[in-house]
Structure 1
Amino acid sequence: MLDAHVEFRALESILKKFGVKHGDVLYVASDITMLMYKVRNTYNIESIEEYDEYLNALVDKLQEIIGNDGTLLFPVFTWGFCRGEGFSIKESACEVGALNNWILKNRRDFQRTQHPMYSFMVWGKDARLLAGMQNIDGWGDDSPFAYLRENNATTLTFDILLGKCFTFKHYVERCLKVPWRYTKEFAGNYTDADGHTTEKIYSMYVRDLDIVFDPVSDIKEFAGKDIFKHAKWFDIDLWFMNCSEAFSVYIDDIKNNDARGCYKFKNYHPDWTSGQTHPDVKISI
């Protein structure tokens, strides 16, 4: 049995310092490459079973911190549905992180939400609510992203800078109906949790590919806004952010700062008067 109790107590202390408590909604995104390297060297791990033991203990600790009255979410985004590969709620692999994929395959206490591109593994008080959402639009007002805003969720990232990998900002763009994105519908085979396959249509607020930009990876534009908080754990960077607070900050940046905190546009300047730069793409089946 791996003895990581001291390490996990330190993690618990950090989360409590940044306000995470029983009953909270916690959204976790991660790159665990460096973490697993450190775990292997610290505990002399040699087997898959030992890695599984450690990851189980990590997820258990996060559950313990927020308690049964809290809700825990991990992203298991996948875009095979967009590529015409169909989607299976039980089988389609996550494309955004090894820990998330591990939870999908190994943790039966989690449920998967239903959108074929932007789904989450969820546990806790609101797991059934989230897993029952029927949102067609990945970032719509009835989506888990809206739930994160409405429930003051804390975003926690392991070894990922929030400014670089923050899908929540696309929900903000959707709320504002920014002109450089448009609604695109996708049709494909959808296999539900009972194994029934039907053809369905889902949508995503995609970016206009004719507009060239780089995502902003630093957080300088948000200096003084105090929405990004940082800590070190096990020599791993942790970043914290409240989704409700971030929503207002991103609204202000996009509307009043030409989205400089989000993007570096190369061949376009945000133009709200001319409307969206690409028409919506609707399909029927």
Structure 2
Amino acid sequence: MQNRKMEKNKAYDYSKQDIIHALKETGISEGDSIFVHSNIGFLGRLQDAVYPEDHYEVFKAAIFEVIGDDGTLTVPTYSYSFCRGEIFDKDRTPGMCGFFSEMVRKDTLALRSDDPNFSTAAIGKKSGYLVKDVGEHPFGADSFLARFVDTGGKICNINLNSASSVIHYAEKLFNVPYRHDKEFRGKIADCGKLKDRTAYYFVRDLDKPENVPEFGKFDKKAKALGLVRTADLGKGQVVSIGARDTVLLVKKGVEEDPFFLIKGKAVLI
């Protein structure tokens, strides 16, 4: 009874040590490269965190306490700049992937790729290899995602399911029938000068609702196969899955059903 009362009166929902424990419980370990999609605002109150920056510093410290100096933290900083007809400046253009990703992007230790639609920011040992001089296609052979899969990275999602952008890379790799390449042209800012740039996106037809992604199917199958590790954190959870496991599961899934990852049987483009 007394323990329950103490729990009820706690001034926080989770702590730095809880973050560390959750990461380790999901299989994150020293030397790992992790790709984090996050929604940390719904985890509840973080111990001793007053300002938003406090949340970032605690999460960053906890992550690197687990992955160490040989590890690498990567996050999506997607801006969709060329899709929106805008100039892309990797030093200034904000991403659209939430608070934690933006804080990583602004970190003085971070490197950011120059993909005008699907940029990625990274901190750590392999950051240069993962994000520098990426190709024109965000899901192509010389993309961040291809390198991340090749290096044996792990998806580590905070308060989200096990789906990730690696699924789109796999869709491109296995050439699913409901998507096709679309070319975008625009300008990127580089050292104060504007340069022409071409970028591609493996798009779906926005007028066909049956082609809308349904990644809950992926998450359900991945969990059923034991590929996903989950740990509670605050009012939410942390989940992890290997990037290579993601690719292999998509391969198997689309071989059995080409429309495995969408809401309905696609109207082909």
Instruction: Work out whether the TM-score is over 0.5.
Output: yes
Partner of 2:132: 132
- Report the identity percentage: 22
The answer for the alignment partner of 2:6 in structure 1 is: none
- What residue identity is the alignment partner of 2:35? Y
2:264 aligns with 265
Match of 2:29 in 1: 21
> Take 1:22 and 1:222, find their aligned partners in 2: how far apart are those partners?
24
Judged with a 3 Å threshold, the aligned counterparts in structure 2 of structure 1 residues 256 and 84 are, in CA distance, closer, same or farther, namely: same
Query: Structure 2: 5+ residue runs without aligned partners?
Result: 1-10
| Aligned match of 1:195 | 192
Residues 176 and 8 of structure 1: CA distance in aligned 2, closer, same or farther (over 3 Å): same
Compared CA separation, residues 179 and 82, structure 1 to 2 (3 A): same
Change in Cα spacing, 1:215 to 1:205, as seen in structure 2 (3 Å) is closer
**Aligned with 1:252: secondary structure?**
helix
CA contact (8 A) 1:212 1:266 kept: no
C-alpha deviation, 1:217, in angstroms? 4.6
Q: What is the one-letter code of the residue matched to 1:24?
A: D
Q: CA deviation at 1:210?
A: 4.5
What corresponds to 1:247 in structure 2? 247
The 3-state SS of whatever aligns with 1:87 is coil
Contact kept? 1:8, 1:61, Cα under 8 Å: yes
Length-normalised TM-score, structure 2: 0.87
Answer yes or no: is the 8 Å Cα contact 1:155–1:243 preserved in 2: yes
What's 2:123 paired with?
A: 123
For residues 253-279 of structure 1, the C-alpha deviation after alignment (integer angstroms, 9 at most, x for no partner) is 11213332x2122553xxxxxxxx44x
The answer as to whether partners of 2:74 and 2:120 remain within 8 angstroms in 1 is yes
> Matches of 1:127 and 1:223 in 2, distance apart?
29
Structure 1 residues not aligned, in runs of 5+: 269-276, 279-285
The Cα of 1:103 is off from its aligned counterpart by 2.3
Shift of residue 104, structure 1, vs aligned partner: 2.0
Residue 33 (structure 1) aligned to one of 41, 59, 69: 41
Paired with 1:237 and 1:59, the residues of 2 have a C-alpha distance of 17
Output one character per residue of 1:137-190: Cα deviation in whole Å (capped at 9) or x when no partner. Answer: 011011111122112211111111224xx2211100110111211111111110
Q: Secondary structure at the match of 2:232?
A: strand
**1:184 equivalent among 150, 166, 182:** 182
Q: Distance in 1 between matches of 2:213 and 2:131?
A: 30
Q: CA deviation at 1:19?
A: 2.3
Structure 1: which amino acid aligns with 2:42?
M
Amino acid at match of 1:26: I
Aligned pair 1:69/2:77, yes or no?
A: no
Q: Which residue does 1:272 correspond to in 2? A: none
Which of 170, 173, 178 lines up with 1:172 in the alignment? 170
Name the SS of the counterpart of 1:93 in structure 2. coil
- Secondary structure of the residue aligned to 2:202 is strand
Equivalent residue letter for 2:195: T
Relative to structure 1, the CA distance from residue 82 to residue 249 in structure 2 (aligned partners, 3 Å threshold; closer, same or farther) is: same
With over 3 angstroms needed to count, the CA separation of the structure-2 counterparts of 1:137 and 1:11, relative to structure 1, is: same
Q: Partner amino acid for 2:192? A: G
Q: Which residue does 1:100 correspond to in 2?
A: 101
Q: Partners of 2:90 and 2:194 in 1: how far apart?
A: 10
Equivalenced residues, count: 255
Report the CA distance between 1:43 and its aligned residue. 4.5
